[in-house]
Amino acid sequence: MPPSYPSDAPASEALFARAKTVVPGGVNSPVRAFRSVGGTPRFITSARGAYLIDADGREYVDLIGSWGPMILGHTHPEVLAAVTDAASRGFSYGTPSENEVALAEEIVARVEPVEHVRLVSSGTEATMSALRLARGLTGRSRVVKFAGCYHGHVDALLAAAGSGVATFGLPDSAGVPSSAAAETIVLPYNDIAALEAVFAADGEHIAAVITEAAPGNMGVVPPAPGFTEALRRVTRDHGALLISDEVMTGFRCSRSGWYGLEGPYAAGAPDLFTFGKVMGGGFPAAAFGGPAALMAALAPDGPVYQAGTLSGNPVATAAGLATLQRCTPEVYAHIDAAAHTIADAAAAALSAAGVPHTVQWAGSMFSIFFCEGLVRDYDDAKRTSAPAYAAFFHAMLAQGVHLPPSAYEVWFVSAAHDAAAVDRILAALPAAASAASD
């Protein structure tokens, strides 16, 4: 149990109490509940630029960024205009519309191996559908995933799933039938020998390896040099597909996501990619894609069924398109610089306070582990001190900086984190570091 933190947020407390009478745990996604850091989640009434305003009228510099999508900051005026325009012309048609094509074109133009994309409404749907497609294409049932990688709450992929699940210390979820889990092989991340051994023993039954392109759900744990190459080589040699989950990294790490930083690979590109978060600009839009020849196995052209009432929703696609079009080189350079300023200052404050820590990066995505030494996999990540993070988190919150309420999360920086917002974060760090040292 985390210590109880006094809250000066009476309106949020009242809303949380009310929520708990009608919503399980009072939240619609578990990590929002503050369970691992203790205290009361802030109920947000509005968000603009780099700031959130809570129900008590308190302003916070936001480093959650809706867990990734808000790369331009909140309520970007041009994205808002695109959304308002789209909404004024209808909320959902259930028939094709041009923005779906334009968003698909934008993704295809950015991620070179992706020729065709299918739009869905969440990252979970994207990975679930990519997995079905891989199984349909190969006629095989098993799937390899890595401990600490989160791919949404797909039954087969919830084993050792990092982030939210790690936050709660659950090995995996109740309600996942053993038949679904039995087809999932969980390996330690960054362990090429373990991968080769599994394929040597069972390769003919494995449909796919799915990996976060650069994991951000056990904190940031980038692939060691050569690891992604090895995934590609081993899967190709055994006729299995490689699914690169870029739901978090896509269009954030670079205009072409993690693939734009690390690819192309000598052994070849991943077969399928999944996207979400940034490409929806804060609205429910996600996608999976790959070469046209593979994607042709999807209905209506092929035998693998996949569908969605709200897939390619006109308002969501307008938001996503407007967001991606504004993810310019300047935006990426700004986020990179701001992230480095914040991470360097946090590391300096923690060092000054004598708090063990390690900062890890994947492009401009970073997280801070409250432990010493390189973190290469989920077992390493679990060394992070949850109590130290909780103390740090609450000291930041009390000073008006809202970090993710999870020790295993990326600190999401946006284009709207200007000098004033960054300065407010920097000013809060020493007291938070000192709280973490107690």
> Could you list the residues that contact ligand PLP (CB under 6 A)?
67, 122-124, 127, 150-152, 212, 217, 245, 247-248, 276, 286
Q: Toward ligand PLP, which CB reaches closer, 31 or 396?
A: 31
- The tokens describing 230, both together, are 């090895």
Identify which of residues 269 and 278 has a Cβ nearer to ligand PLP in the complex.
278
Catalytic site positions: 150, 245, 277
Residue in the shown chain whose Cβ atom is closest to ligand PLP: 123
Residue 127 in contact with residue 157, Cβ under 8 Å? Answer: yes
Q: In the complex, what is the shortest distance from the CB of residue 133 to ligand PLP, in angstroms, rounded to a whole number?
A: 16
Angle at 350 between CA 348 and CA 355, to 5 degrees: 145
- The residues, ordered by sequence, that sit 6+ positions from 363 with a Cβ below 8 Å of its Cβ are 214, 249, 252, 253, 254, 258, 261, 336
Can you tell me the distance from the alpha carbon of 360 to that of 56, in angstroms, rounded to the nearest whole number? 34
Closer by beta carbon to ligand PLP, 12 or else 167? 167
Amino acid at 145: K
In whole angstroms, the minimum distance from the beta carbon of 168 to ligand PLP comes to 15
> Which lies closer to ligand PLP via its Cβ, residue 122 or residue 235?
122
Query: Strand order in 401-402's β-sheet?
Result: 44-48, 51-54, 59-62, 401-402
Task: Please report how close the Cβ of residue 244 comes to ligand PLP at its closest, in angstroms.
Answer: 10
10 Å CB burial of residue 181 (0-12, 13-18, 19+) is: middle
Q: Taking the complex as a whole, how short is the minimal distance between the CB of residue 214 and ligand PLP, in angstroms?
A: 9
Q: Which is nearer to ligand PLP, 345 or 411 (CB)?
A: 411
Cβ distance to ligand PLP smaller for residue 120 or 415: 120
Cα dihedral across residues 340, 342, 346, 352: positive or negative: positive
Min separation Cβ 120 and ligand PLP, Å: 9
- Where helices occur in 139-174 by DSSP H, the ranges are 163-167
Question: Which residues share a beta bridge with 128?
Answer: none
- In 3D space, the residue among 119, 138, 132 whose CA is nearest the CA of residue 288 turns out to be 119
Both tokens of 419, joined, read 């000098």
146, 150, 154, 156 alpha-carbon torsion, rounded to 10°? 10
Residue closer to ligand PLP, measured from CB, 127 or 306:
127
Is 130:243 a contact under the CB 8 Å cutoff?
yes
Give me the least distance between CB of 153 and ligand PLP, in Å please: 7
Q: Are 359 and 372 in contact (CB under 8 A)?
A: no
User: Least CB distance from residue 79 to ligand PLP, whole Å?
Assistant: 18
In whole angstroms, give the CA distance from residue 275 to residue 256.
11
- Neighbouring residues of 382: CB distance < 8 A, sequence distance ≥ 6: 166
